[in-house]
Amino acid sequence: GQHFDYKKSDEWPNEYPICAGDRQSPVNIELHHVRSMEPGRPPLGRFGYDKKPTRMKIVNNGHTVQLSGEWPAKDTPTIYGGPLTGLYELAQIHFHWGPDNTAGSEHTVANQSFPLEMHLVHWKKSYENISEAMLHDDGLAVIGYLMSVDKNPNTGLERMRASFNKILRPQQTTEIEPFPLTLFDLDLLKEGYVTYVGSLTTPPCNESAIWLLSVRIKDVTMDEMDSFRKLRMENHNEHNYRRVQPLNGRSITYYYD
């Protein structure tokens, strides 16, 4: 994997020049800057999220905890419609957090941070594979959910964190009992979402991502946050979010179905 330090993110461009590009992520979302979609867009759709994978694993890759699964080809979680053209297949799910509840999310809303942000990374199936997709400006579609601390446990997070004791250190990985992604209660953007074109939020910072951020803030419990914070990351990092990047004239559009 890539080597980089969140404490030295200002130096990422030295090794990864795209990190200084002009369509970088994350960004701050100012609601009064958001435009409404033009009418006539096909609604965002998905399939496969309700299908149980045949295998599932979590890995501590030193930068985040990453969940991935194996599904029969026709059941692989896939999204389409909305701002997307073509089909985008899920590759992995991961999270960004901080040392306490005042920070952790990558995207901010009206300059406000949230303790946790979940990313569902999809790649456009018309490209050969995900590495190829990452070389195109519409190659990836990342769905983001901001989460704030409340009392309601999330069944998907509970299933994951039950095995976090096996991946406390970087490069540790473990298989988990497969579950369908519907257990995360991803009311796929029911109340609408904002979308903009951006990048990977870590090196190599490829400017290949279409971002879809749910307007609905999800719940995470204090116990769930504690489990994330117990995971040891590379370079003794206690957070794994990148600072917000300049919009540079990009527009952010509000979509609702």
Binding characters for ligand BO1, 94-123, by CB under 6 A (x = yes): -------------------------x-x--
Q: Tell me how many residues contact ligand BO1 (CB under 6 A).
A: 9
User: Catalytic site residue 63?
Assistant: yes
CB of 144 to Zn ion, least distance (A): 8
- Residues 91 and 122 sit within 8 Å (Cβ to Cβ): yes
Asked if 124 is part of the footprint of ligand BO1 (rule: CB under 6 A), the reply reads no
Asked if 119 is part of the footprint of Zn ion (rule: CB under 5 A), the reply reads yes
Q: Residue 91's binding partner, choosing from Zn ion, ligand BO1, none, with beta-carbon cut-off 5 to 8 A by kind?
A: ligand BO1
Sole window of 24-32, 111-119, 220-228, 229-237 interacting with Zn ion (rule: CB under 5 A):
111-119
Asked if 59 is part of the footprint of ligand BO1 (rule: CB under 6 A), the reply reads no
Q: Check 3, 32, 33, 63 and give the catalytic one.
A: 63
Nearer to Zn ion, 21 or 126 (CB): 21
How far apart are alpha carbons 78 and 92 in whole angstroms?
A: 12
Sole window of 107-115, 151-159, 178-186, 200-208 interacting with ligand BO1 (rule: CB under 6 A):
200-208
How far apart are alpha carbons 209 and 200 in whole angstroms?
A: 7
Asked if 91 is part of the footprint of ligand BO1 (rule: CB under 6 A), the reply reads yes
Report the interface residues with ligand BO1, using CB under 6 A: 91-92, 119, 121, 130, 142, 200-202
Catalytic residues: 63
Residues that bind Zn ion (CB under 5 A): 119
